[in-house]
Chains A and B, each alone.
Chain A
């Protein structure tokens, strides 16, 4: 069965510093991986997705993630964060043909 683990529930980081949000997955089938972002009082918005091809995936707002099959990871990175990046970030993997399994989320807090 597919699953995702986000070990960091909260990540504080100063503005303009780099950040990495960790996601590890468990899957016995072909792997598709997603990162979603949830800004305060809003729904989730797709940041980026890995379906196949290049293992380095670029998304919106300067975020990128690297699919690492040997480490079963799909960590999210940004070289320089802004205050506006303060949000909750969810890693997700499909389970079956339509259902998504979401991680428990990582709350990114960017400090001035």
Chain B
């Protein structure tokens, strides 16, 4: 079946602009995660959705970052007033449920470059 998809694959934006990153999880997966991958930093957890609700937003770096999920499916990560330090690869993952033993399936990521 189809895996996790993300769009766009690459995004170049000017400092100060808003961007929206989209994630389509695997059908039937109730849990959805956003991570940020910066050079040399590994993967940084941003936010976790169980269905449409986000019980854990603790990883969002600032109030410029927000995310929503609708219909228990598609999720959008929005970054307002982008800064150069926001440049990174943003990865989305999904799993059958929010459980520590459940494998997370990752999308290919969106590479964001803020100029």
Residues of A that sit less than 8 Å from B by CB: 9, 32, 34, 36, 41-46, 49, 51, 90, 94, 96-105
Q: Is B108 an interface residue (CB 8 A)?
A: yes
State the interface size on chain B (CB cutoff 8 A).
Answer: 25
Instruction: Say how far A96's CB is from chain B's closest CB, in angstroms.
Output: 7
Chain B residues whose C-beta falls within 8 Å of the C-beta of A90 in the assembled complex: 42-43
Q: Is B2 an interface residue (CB 8 A)?
A: no
- Is A45 a contact of B56 with CB atoms below 8 Å? no
In Å, the complex CA distance between A88 and B41 comes to 13
* Per-residue contact bits, chain B 16-43, to A (CB 8 Å; 1 contact, 0 not): 0000000000000001010100001111
Chain B residues whose C-beta falls within 8 Å of the C-beta of A98 in the assembled complex: 31, 33, 48, 50, 56, 98-100
Residues of B that sit less than 8 Å from A by CB: 3-4, 31, 33, 35, 40-43, 45, 48, 50, 56, 91, 93, 98-101, 103-104, 106-109
Q: Which residue of B lies closest to A2 (CB)?
A: B100
Chain A residues whose C-beta falls within 8 Å of the C-beta of B48 in the assembled complex: 98-99
Contact count A vs B, C-beta below 8 Å: 56
- Is B45 a contact of A99 with CB atoms below 8 Å? yes
Q: Which has the most chain A C-beta neighbours within 10 Å: B33, B41, B108?
A: B108
Taking A43-B107, A43-B109, A99-B56 as given, write out 14 further A-B residue pairs in contact, using a Cβ cutoff of 8 Å, ordered by the A residue number.
A43-B91, A43-B93, A44-B43, A45-B106, A46-B104, A97-B98, A97-B99, A97-B100, A98-B31, A98-B33, A98-B50, A98-B98, A100-B43, A103-B42
